[in-house]
Structure 1
Amino acid sequence: MAAITALPPPPPIDDGCALFLDVDGTLLEFAPRPDEVEVPQQLREALAALHARLQGAVALVSGRSIAVLDILLAPPRLPASGLHGLERRHGRRIHHAPRAPEALDRVRSEAVRVAARHPGAVVEDKGAALALHWRAAPQAGGELQAFARAALPRLPGYRLQPGNDVIELRPAVRRGVRADKGAAILAFMQEPPFAGRRPVFAGDDITDEAGFAAVNSRGGISVLVGPPRESAAHFALAGTAEVHAWIGASA
C-alpha cells in the first residue's frame, strides 16, 4: 500500500452501484462506550432511500453483531455482515458466527477484572468474539493489548483484530473460509441485487482494508473516512458528516 497524503472525494453513488458501509467511525461517530453512539434520524431516512433507489443493493459491513446493527439502524433492516465477516444476513439467508469455545468465558472473566482497574475501559461481549475498548481510558491501552496477546494461545483458531482504541479476540475463519470484511463483500457480490453492480465501500479503520482491497479488485470505489493514512483506498471523506452528505445527496 502506498502512503496517502490527499485523496479525492468519491464520485456520486449512481444506479449501477452496490453500496457497502462500515458503521462505527463511518456512519456513526465514536462514543466513549459502544452502546452510547447516537444515530441521526436523517441517516436512517437516507439509508432507506438509497436501499430503495439501488433496489436493495445496500449492506452494512461492520465489526458489530448483526443483532446490534438492527437495534442501531433499523428501520431499514438492511443486508448485513457482522463481526468482521463472521456472520452475514441477506434476506432470509443467515450465516451464523462459530460457537464460542468454553475457554472464551474464562478469558472474558479475566478481561473484566483487568478492565476494572481502568475506569472507562470496556469489555464488549460479542458472542463468538471479545472486544477490549480503551477510548475512554487511554491509559488502559497497553495493558489490554498485552492481555489480549497473552490470552490468544488459549483460543485455538482465534486471531487478534486491532482497531481504533480497541483490540478483539475473534475466530479467524468461519467453516474453514477466511472471515473478514472483504470476503463478506465478495460473497454479497455473488448474489442479486448486488451481482453485476460496481461495488462501493466506505470505512475508516484498518479492519476495513480487506474491504477496500476487495472492491478495488472488482474495479469499485473504495473510500477512506477520517484523517489521511496509509491505505488501499482510492478516495477519501474527512468524517461521518461528509459521509452523511455524500449518501444523502445520492439518496
Structure 2
Amino acid sequence: MAAGTPLYRPPPPLLDDACALFLDVDGTLLEFASQPDRVRLPPQALAVIETLSDRLQGALALVSGRPLHELDRLFWPLQLPAAGLHGHQFRGSETSPGSTVPEALSHFKREALALARRHQGVMVEDKGSHLALHWRGAPHAAEQVRALAAARIGDIAGYRLQPGDHVVELVPADVDKGGAVRTLMRERPFLGRTPVFVGDDLTDEYGFAAVNANGGWSVLVGRRDDSHANYGLADPGAVHAWLRANAENPASAFSPPTEQT
C-alpha cells in the first residue's frame, strides 16, 4: 500500500435535484451468493428504488455485468433504464450477444468447463459474448482459474480479462462500465445531470473514473484502498439505508434540473 493512501472515505451526501444515479447490482444492491441466480433483493428495496427513480424524474439506471433479461427478472415488475453486460447491452437497443461469439471463446469455454469438472465449486457462467469463471465456491482453485484465463486471452482477438471479486470475466475489449455511463449521460433523462455511480468491484472503477471526470460522485461499497471513489459505504445494507434516506427526503428537494439548450 502506497504511503498516504486514504483508508477512509466519507459516506455520500443525500442526492440533490440535479443528480443522475447509476447503480451496480451484485455486491452493491445484492449480497454475493455461491450461485448468481440465488440472490434476492432485500424486502422493500423495490419500493424504495421506484420512489427514488420517480423523484429523480427517471434518472436512475442499473449498470451491471448481468444481461438485461436477468436484471429484469431480479427487479420485476420494475423495468429501469439499464446497461447490461458492462455496457454491451442497453435498454431499447439490446444486442444478441450469442450471435457473435468468437470460435476461440467457445474453445476456451470447453477448457473452462473441463477445469470446473476437476474442481468442484468452480462455475462457468456463459453470457453469450461474455464468459465468466467464478471460484467463490472453490477458493483453492483461484490460481488455476486465473492462470487458464491469462494463458488463453491472447488467442481471443478483441477481448480482455476483467478481474472481479472471486471471478474473472472475458469481455470485449471496447466495453466497460465507464463507457456505459457516458452513453447513458448523453440521453434524457440523464443529460445535464450530475452523475453518481455506486459500485463495489474492480469492474466499477471504470464507472468511478467516468463520473469523476464529469464532476460527479463515486461511491465505493466495501473497502479497497486503491480505488478512484471519493465516497464510501460499508456494504449492501448501508447502500439500502442510504437509498431509503434519499427516498424519504422531501419531494420538494427533487425538482427537475433546468433544461439545457
How would you bin the TM-score normalised by the shorter chain?
Answer: over 0.9
- Answering whether residue 213 of structure 2 is matched by residue 220 of structure 1, we say no
Give the gaps of 5 or more residues in structure 1: 174-178
Aligned Cα RMSD in Å? 1.6
Inter-partner Cα distance in structure 1 for 2:216 and 2:96: 27
* Deviates further, 98-107 or 59-68: 98-107
CA deviation digits over 1:62-93, x for unaligned, max 9?
Answer: 1111111111112211111111122222xx34
Match of 1:85 among 84, 87, 91: 87
Inter-partner Cα distance in structure 1 for 2:193 and 2:48: 20
% same residue: 54
Inter-partner Cα distance in structure 1 for 2:78 and 2:134: 28
Quote the residue 1:146 is aligned against.
147
Quote the residue 1:17 is aligned against.
19
Quote the residue 2:234 is aligned against.
238
* Deviates further, 59-68 or 20-29: 59-68
- The 1:67/1:132 distance shift into structure 2, 3 A limit, reads same
Structure of larger gyration radius = 2
TM-score (norm 2): 0.89
Query: Which is strand-richer, 1 or 2?
Result: 1
TM-score (norm 1): 0.93
Quote the residue 1:35 is aligned against.
37
Inter-partner Cα distance in structure 2 for 1:228 and 1:151: 28
Inter-partner Cα distance in structure 2 for 1:22 and 1:140: 27
Query: Which residue identity lines up with residue 117 of structure 1 in the other structure?
Result: R
Quote the residue 1:63 is aligned against.
65
Match of 2:176 among 180, 185, 190: 180
Poorly superposed stretches of 4+, deviation over 2 Å: 1-4, 92-98
Quote the residue 1:115 is aligned against.
116
Give the gaps of 5 or more residues in structure 2: 248-261
Quote the residue 1:197 is aligned against.
193
